[in-house]
Structure 1
Amino acid sequence: MGSLADDRRWTVRLAVGLLAGAVGLYGLHKLVTLKRRRQQQQRAGGERPSEKNPVHRVTGLKITGDAQRIAEGFLHTNSPDVLEQQHLQAVLGLLKESSDASTREQALVTLGNSAAFSANQDLLRNLDGLSIIANCLFDEVISVRVKALNVLNNLSMNIANQKELKMTPRWVEGLAVRRMQRCSCDLDRLRIWIPQILEILRTTALNSELQVASLRVLTNFSVTNNYHYMMTNYIPHFLKLLVEGTEKIKVQILKLLINLSANPDICHDLLSAQAPLSFLLLFDSCVSKEVLLRLLILVANLKENLSLLRNSVQYDYEVDSLHSVLFGNATPFSHKLTKLILYQDNEVKQQIARIITK
């Protein structure tokens, strides 16, 4: 029995060693390759090469000499950006089976790094990696959940992965049994992941890493109109975060809201949402340009779509709605806008002009 336990411990240590070594060599190989390419380009008088798929990257593990030797042969020799299927499968297995939080974090960091490349995004989906990674959203350790969201952020750059992560009820009903056999998921884990991420955003601490990570994933999903309908019930919470969050939260929320406001079908949902009392305080020259410019783009988009909306149907809005605050009769917003005309930035003035001329 003792020998068997020792063998198991040795196997786990070897797996963790391979994982750490793989990440270390992966990062080292990338740095050396990029440096070599830059030197070649400079000698040839060309420009610095741009890295493929410049999406958000997750920081890797530290490199040690032993780890580098252990990881020899772990990476695909012909393409350092793409790990072999067997290696990704091993990391996914470790993520699914390990009860150690630090090991799960290391596995997610490795997957996040590899998910920065399109070939690995497809490979991870084919290996059922999306379900395994998304299940980490239920992890009791917050740092594990943050890293899982970071991986999903990279994976959600892939349209096919977005469809998989949406996981519609029909998909759950039709493939639940087969999916449970493949990844040993509990039936209650087979839910729609986008609402789960929205719930994380709603219930987590204000301005936390978990909140920022959730917003990044949702922003990727909002680039197309396909999943906007799943977010409409959370618009009041988005507005609340906009007035209460840090500048980082404000900018990320505005990216999401701008994507929603570009969709005429969501215009009424945005305009009918209750506006926080301090919403108009954001329209001030002392607010950073990053926030102010995006605010004005949001309003300009809403006003353009409102004109289309009025041509089709007439809506009544509550007095505290976003519509009444922005476009109601004799609102303070018009005075705010008048003062901002003096703002010394052409981009800001262009968006003010969009609002006024509509």
Structure 2
Amino acid sequence: MGSLADDGRWTVRLAVGLLAGAAGLYGLHKLVTLKRQQQRAGGDRPSEKNLVHRVTGLKVPGDEQGIAEGFLCAKSPDVLERQHLQAVLGLLKESSDASTREQALVTLGNSAAFSANQDLLRNLDGLSIIANCLFDEVISVRVKALNVLNNLSMNIANQKELKIWIPQILEILRTTTLNSELQVASLRVLTNFSITNNYHYMMTNYIPHFLKLLVEGTEKIKVQILKVLINLSANPDICHDLLSAQAPLSLLLLFDSCVNKEVLLRLLILVANLKENLSLLQNSVQYEYEVDSLHSVLFGNAVPFSHKLTKLILYQDNEVKQQIARIITK
């Protein structure tokens, strides 16, 4: 039985090995194959160090340095086992080097694309280790942490644990540079959280900012914002929050045939959802809306918006026409 110090050195060697490079995973495959061949042949098993060097061509420093380089990478991360993920999480938690943390997050992000690993990372208490990187002073580390959370949040069980980080992700979205990678990465995670109604209530205070980004953002930002807003608009319980949110009048400029179809179609789906839910609201209670609310921009003075819809009827796309029909018939 090895000492605790030996175990610690092995863990560090393993963790750094997980982050090596594109040749590493192929090396792992050959490593496993060689080991199996030797077991079948009954031959002596060479040391892990020698095998790593043979199958990857990477130089492996001596044991006294406490590092064994490269035998895994994210090329096929579904092969990562519990001890591999645990080692990378340990490296992410302990390392003070930004590039090491980034590579660890890339490895974890690729691994988290597989449902089995999503559960495994949760069971290893990895969610909080990864989410804590949202406070990292290095922007690229935060972006990669959000990318990992994007994959992890496709898992309903993970969402239950990760929901405590929604306010931090919303704050990143609100305070970061317009159209930055950080904004896009934040919106992707929020899109996953908005698929069900479970966490909509945590986003309602940020709806005015969503609408502001919808007007000011690039097409990529617009599409991501609309994915979130459409998910919210499908929830009747959030309808009033959406309609009462402050909205820029310039929002109407997006209802134009020159706007990218992906943006325009989603805009119309959003309005159609709101119109349907508004009719349900009006059957139960009458609300008053401020003059700068989304309700007032779209439905308060109906003439500008109706004029926009009239022009869009000539738009040569059946999906767009279908959503216009949904709006008009309501």
TM class by smaller structure: 0.7 to 0.9
Q: Tell me, in whole angstroms, the C-alpha distance in 1 between the residues paired with 2:204 and 2:46.
A: 41
Q: In the alignment, is the contact (CA less than 8 A) between 1:17 and 1:67 conserved in 2?
A: no
Task: Give 1:4 shift.
Answer: 15
Task: Give 1:89 shift.
Answer: 0.3
For residues 55-109 of structure 1, the C-alpha deviation after alignment (integer angstroms, 9 at most, x for no partner) is: 9999999999999999999679999724211110000000000000000000000
Report which stretch shifted further, 49-58 or 67-76: 49-58
For residues 154-198 of structure 1, the C-alpha deviation after alignment (integer angstroms, 9 at most, x for no partner) is: 0000000000101xxxxxxxxxxxxxxxxxxxxxxxxx2000000
Q: Tell me, in whole angstroms, the C-alpha distance in 2 between the residues paired with 1:49 and 1:308.
A: 72
Q: In the alignment, is the contact (CA less than 8 A) between 2:31 and 2:51 conserved in 1?
A: no
Q: In the alignment, is the contact (CA less than 8 A) between 2:213 and 2:225 conserved in 1?
A: yes
Specify whether residues 163 and 59 from structure 1 end up closer, same or farther in structure 2 by C-alpha distance, changes over 3 A only. farther
Q: In the alignment, is the contact (CA less than 8 A) between 1:115 and 1:151 conserved in 2?
A: yes
Q: In the alignment, is the contact (CA less than 8 A) between 1:134 and 1:148 conserved in 2?
A: yes
Q: Tell me, in whole angstroms, the C-alpha distance in 2 between the residues paired with 1:219 and 1:325.
A: 25
Q: In the alignment, is the contact (CA less than 8 A) between 1:261 and 1:267 conserved in 2?
A: yes
Q: Sequence identity, in percent?
A: 94
Q: Tell me, in whole angstroms, the C-alpha distance in 2 between the residues paired with 1:75 and 1:13.
A: 12
For residues 265-318 of structure 1, the C-alpha deviation after alignment (integer angstroms, 9 at most, x for no partner) is: 000000001111311000001001000000000000000000111111110011
- Number of residue pairs the alignment of both structures matches: 330
TM-score (norm 1): 0.76
Q: In the alignment, is the contact (CA less than 8 A) between 1:21 and 1:70 conserved in 2?
A: no
Q: Tell me, in whole angstroms, the C-alpha distance in 1 between the residues paired with 2:39 and 2:53.
A: 26
Task: Give 1:330 shift.
Answer: 3.8
Specify whether residues 159 and 22 from structure 1 end up closer, same or farther in structure 2 by C-alpha distance, changes over 3 A only. farther
For residues 14-35 of structure 1, the C-alpha deviation after alignment (integer angstroms, 9 at most, x for no partner) is: 7424421588417997999999
Specify whether residues 28 and 319 from structure 1 end up closer, same or farther in structure 2 by C-alpha distance, changes over 3 A only. farther
Q: Tell me, in whole angstroms, the C-alpha distance in 1 between the residues paired with 2:54 and 2:301.
A: 47
Report which stretch shifted further, 22-31 or 221-230: 22-31
Q: Tell me, in whole angstroms, the C-alpha distance in 1 between the residues paired with 2:53 and 2:315.
A: 32
Q: 5+ residue gaps in structure 2?
A: none
Q: Tell me, in whole angstroms, the C-alpha distance in 2 between the residues paired with 1:199 and 1:150.
A: 16
SS in 1 for 2:302: coil
Q: In the alignment, is the contact (CA less than 8 A) between 2:28 and 2:72 conserved in 1?
A: no
Q: In the alignment, is the contact (CA less than 8 A) between 2:255 and 2:309 conserved in 1?
A: yes
Specify whether residues 98 and 70 from structure 1 end up closer, same or farther in structure 2 by C-alpha distance, changes over 3 A only. closer
Alignment of 1:124 with 2:96, yes or no, is no
Specify whether residues 10 and 27 from structure 1 end up closer, same or farther in structure 2 by C-alpha distance, changes over 3 A only. closer
Specify whether residues 286 and 102 from structure 1 end up closer, same or farther in structure 2 by C-alpha distance, changes over 3 A only. same
Task: Give 1:338 shift.
Answer: 0.4
Task: Give 1:141 shift.
Answer: 0.3
Q: In the alignment, is the contact (CA less than 8 A) between 2:212 and 2:248 conserved in 1?
A: yes
Q: Tell me, in whole angstroms, the C-alpha distance in 2 between the residues paired with 1:30 and 1:48.
A: 14
1:21 alignment counterpart: 21
Structure 2 counterparts to residues 195-274 of structure 1, below 5 A: 195-274=167-246
Q: 5+ residue gaps in structure 1?
A: 167-191
Q: In the alignment, is the contact (CA less than 8 A) between 1:83 and 1:114 conserved in 2?
A: yes
Specify whether residues 253 and 23 from structure 1 end up closer, same or farther in structure 2 by C-alpha distance, changes over 3 A only. farther
Task: Give 1:47 shift.
Answer: 43
Q: In the alignment, is the contact (CA less than 8 A) between 1:22 and 1:74 conserved in 2?
A: no
Q: Tell me, in whole angstroms, the C-alpha distance in 2 between the residues paired with 1:52 and 1:257.
A: 53
SS in 2 for 1:199: helix
Among 62, 86, 97, the residue aligned to 1:89: 86
Q: Tell me, in whole angstroms, the C-alpha distance in 1 between the residues paired with 2:90 and 2:41.
A: 45
Largest Rg, 1 or 2: 2
2:112 alignment counterpart: 115
Structure 2 counterparts to residues 337-352 of structure 1, below 5 A: 337-352=309-324
Q: In the alignment, is the contact (CA less than 8 A) between 2:214 and 2:221 conserved in 1?
A: yes
Task: Give 1:329 shift.
Answer: 3.7
Task: Give 1:324 shift.
Answer: 1.1
Report which stretch shifted further, 91-100 or 51-60: 51-60
For residues 242-271 of structure 1, the C-alpha deviation after alignment (integer angstroms, 9 at most, x for no partner) is: 000000000000000000000000000000
TM-score (norm 2): 0.82
Q: Tell me, in whole angstroms, the C-alpha distance in 2 between the residues paired with 1:327 and 1:47.
A: 79
